[in-house]
Structure 1
Amino acid sequence: MRQINPRNIAPPVGAYSHGMEVRGGGQWLHVAGQIGVAADGELCEGFEAQVRQAWANLMVVLADAGMDASHLVKVNSFLVDAAHLPLLGPVRQGFLGTARPASTLLVVQALARPQWLFEVDAVAFKPD
């Protein structure tokens, strides 16, 4: 995989890449939206706790497929309140480490259930 960050456009405004190039054979994984629900089925209380749990859930799915954050190609994050944006970055960075997948962040009116404050989905690739 190769990060694509052309010099003739502005650099990414955060910890992501404008594009991720994948060549050759390997294993693709499309991860459904992960929310702040713990393994016991309980929704975490508050935005930051939901973000932390959603990212932890994403990492568990990756691990189950034999992958980690370095295999992420694309990440989409959805939050329902722009005021929470400053809380998102540090949690996200803690899970991504040095990985810089292509990323999209959307502030949306609502998620599928009103108590959900954050959701993240992803695409990952592991070369052969």
Structure 2
Amino acid sequence: MSKSIIHTDRAPKAIGTYSQAVKVGDTVYLSGQIPLDPATMTLVEGGMDVQIRRVFDNLSAVAEAAGGSLQDIVKLNIFLTDLAHFPLVNEIMAGYFAEPYPARAAIGVASLPRGAGVEMDGVMVLAG
């Protein structure tokens, strides 16, 4: 099975040795996104709600570049430096996803790249 590297300028470019996403067959593995502005490659300014929205927007841009959308995500991993923000993630996520929701994990971590408060990655399956 061949693999394709997914890239879009609508999401932050990779800041390390990875691709924004890799497509193998009808499965797309989305790399972790932090709340970087794709134009400036700096963290967005504002509260945690702004960071969470930017991460969903970044994931959405990569999903679209791969030929899908957030609705095609079957597994979402959420990393938070403060799990007290998890209810806010749920609230905002409801504006980006519709039922049936993806499988999900939420993990509390000590730190994230560039001092971000949130990072998310996922697995997407495209319709045949």
Secondary structure of residue in 2 paired with 1:37: coil
Higher relative contact order (CA 8 A, sep 6+): 1
TM-score by length of 2: 0.74
Rounded Cα–Cα distance in structure 1 between residues aligned with 2:54 and 2:92: 10
Structure 2 residue ranges without an equivalent (≥5): 1-24
Q: 1:99 to 1:69 in 2, by over 3 A?
A: farther
Residue 91 of structure 1, CA deviation: 1.1
Structure 2 partner of 1:85: 86
The runs of 4+ residues in structure 1 deviating greater than 6 Å are none
Structure 1 residue ranges without an equivalent (≥5): 1-25
- Aligned-residue sequence identity (percent) comes to 32
The structure that has the greater radius of gyration is: 1
Residue type matched to 1:79 in 2?
A: L
Rounded Cα–Cα distance in structure 2 between residues aligned with 1:99 and 1:75: 13
Structure 2 partner of 1:3: none
Rounded Cα–Cα distance in structure 1 between residues aligned with 2:84 and 2:103: 23
Asked if residue 35 in structure 1 is aligned to residue 34 in structure 2, the reply is yes
TM-score by length of 1: 0.74
Q: CA RMSD in A?
A: 1.3
